[in-house]
Every structure is written in C-alpha cells, then in structure tokens.
C-alpha cells in the first residue's frame, strides 16, 4: 500500500513530524516493502495559508491510499476526504514505528480535524500579535501581573492554563525544536 507519512527527515528512521500541512518532509512509502519511494521537502511549511490543502493535494497527486501523521487541520481533512484518502494518527516515534503500527491496524483513523486551522503556523505575523498572556503575580500588584482585575477574563495564576496559553506554549516548544534542528543542520553544512 502506498502511504504518505509526515517526517522530520528523509528516512524511515527519522521522527514522525506531528504536523501535516507544515511538516518538514513528506515520505511516500510502500508499506509492503517498507521502502521510501520518494522523500519530498514540504514547500508549504512556511506558507501564509493553504498549507493543509496543498499537502492534501500532494497526497492525492501521489496516489496515496492513506496519510500517517500526528495531527490534521480542518482544510487538510476536507481535502483528504474528498480524495478518498484515509487519515491515521500516530504517536511520537520514528516513521518506521508509525508504519509498523499502521500495518498492525494499531493507529487511530480520524474523520474530523484534530487541531485548529493554522495550528502549525509560526512566522513573522505571530510576532506582532498583541500579547494575551498573564503576569507572574496574583493580580494584586504583588508581581508583574496587571493587577486591579484588568487581566484577560479574570484568570488567576493558580488555575489551569487557558487553551490559548497552552497552544502558545505548544507552538513555542515546536519553534524551539525547529530552531535546534536548523542549528544542527547548519553546523553539519558548515563542517563539510
């Protein structure tokens, strides 16, 4: 079976990239032979919009019967469903592990988005967005918080983080990982 797997690199032993539309690589894999038929760097990784649609069209153009990834957004799922391509979620691990789990029918198939639109997007436009975080103190002028009840929705530091805060933290972690990988790649290229 021909599947598309999102990856951080060009081989089966690279990590699964949890993003679909904004993954680093698409691997076209023959699951019977456990062979990469094609490794393609994702041109839509930095697109300002439409990355999920482009990725879905890529999978359809390659004749994939299924996509294995960590998450899928609303535009991508619609495009993949329209093309009759199944979508399967894999946990963190290597591409090889994800394919082996797929072959054992151990991956969850999805028919709805697992993340919001533009989930994997990070670029200059996000740097200029107004802050929506909270201060470090309890909001009574004892820390770096706004105090006097002027915070966003009365959020208290002792509560669980809001979904917006959790999403921003997740995106920051993704950016840190991407930056680390880019630094490593640059280091390898300059040593050659």
What number is the average pLDDT over the span 166-186? 73
Query: Which pLDDT value is given to residue 183?
Result: 79
Q: Could you give the C-alpha distances from 87 to 7, 48, 53, 84, 153, in angstroms and in order?
A: 15, 24, 14, 10, 37
Over residues 93-103, mean pLDDT: 96
Of 101, 103, 104, 107, the residue nearest 87 (C-alpha): 107
CB 52 within 8 A of CB 34: no
**Residue spans of beta strands (DSSP E) within 8-82:** 25-30, 35-41, 66-69
pTM for this one? 0.61
Please write the tens of the pLDDT for every residue from 103-116.
999 998 998 988 86
Instruction: In whole angstroms, give the CA distance from residue 158 to residue 189.
Output: 46
Q: Give the confidence band of 185 by pLDDT, cuts at 50, 70, 90.
A: confident
Sequence ranges of the domains in the chain:
2-110, 124-191
Note the pLDDT of residue 50. Answer: 85
Q: Is the pLDDT of residue 177 over 90?
A: no
* 17-32 residues labelled b (16+ CB within 10 A) or e (exposed): bbbbbbbbbbbbbebe
The pLDDT tens digits for 23-60 are 999 999 999 999 999 999 998 888 778 888 999 999 99
Confidence of residue 133 (pLDDT cuts 50, 70, 90): very low
Which of 8, 49, 40, 22 is closest to 185 using CA atoms?
Answer: 8
Backbone angles phi, psi at 109, to 5 degrees: -85, 140
Could you tell me the CA-to-CA distances from 176 to 64, 92, 128, 171, 172 in Å, in that order? 31, 17, 18, 9, 6
Query: In what order do the strands lie in the sheet containing 25-30?
Result: 35-41, 25-30, 2-7, 66-69, 86-89, 108-110
pLDDT confidence of residue 12: 96
DSSP 118-138: TTT--SHHHHTSPP----SS-
Q: 2-110 falls under which CATH superfamily?
A: Dinitrogenase iron-molybdenum cofactor biosynthesis domain (3.30.420.130)
């Amino acid at each position: 079976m021909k599947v598309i797997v999102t990856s951080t690199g060009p081989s089966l032993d690279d990590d699964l990239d949890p993003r679909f539309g904004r993954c680093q690589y698409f691997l076209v894999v023959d699951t019977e032979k456990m062979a990469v038929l094609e490794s393609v760097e994702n041109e839509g990784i930095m697109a300002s919009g439409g990355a999920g649609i482009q990725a879905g069209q890529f999978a359809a153009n390659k004749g994939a019967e299924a996509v294995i990834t960590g998450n899928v957004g609303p535009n991508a799922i619609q495009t993949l469903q329209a093309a009759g391509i199944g979508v399967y979620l894999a946990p963190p691990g290597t591409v090889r592990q994800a394919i082996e789990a797929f072959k054992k029918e151990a991956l969850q198939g999805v028919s709805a988005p697992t993340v919001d639109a533009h989930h994997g997007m990070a670029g200059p436009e996000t740097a200029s967005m107004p802050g929506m975080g909270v201060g470090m103190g309890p909001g009574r002028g004892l820390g770096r918080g706004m105090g006097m009840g002027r915070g966003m929705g009365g959020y208290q530091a002792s509560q669980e983080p809001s979904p917006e805060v959790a999403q921003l933290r997740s995106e920051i972690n993704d950016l840190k990982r991407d930056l680390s990988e880019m630094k490593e790649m640059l280091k390898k290229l300059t040593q050659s």
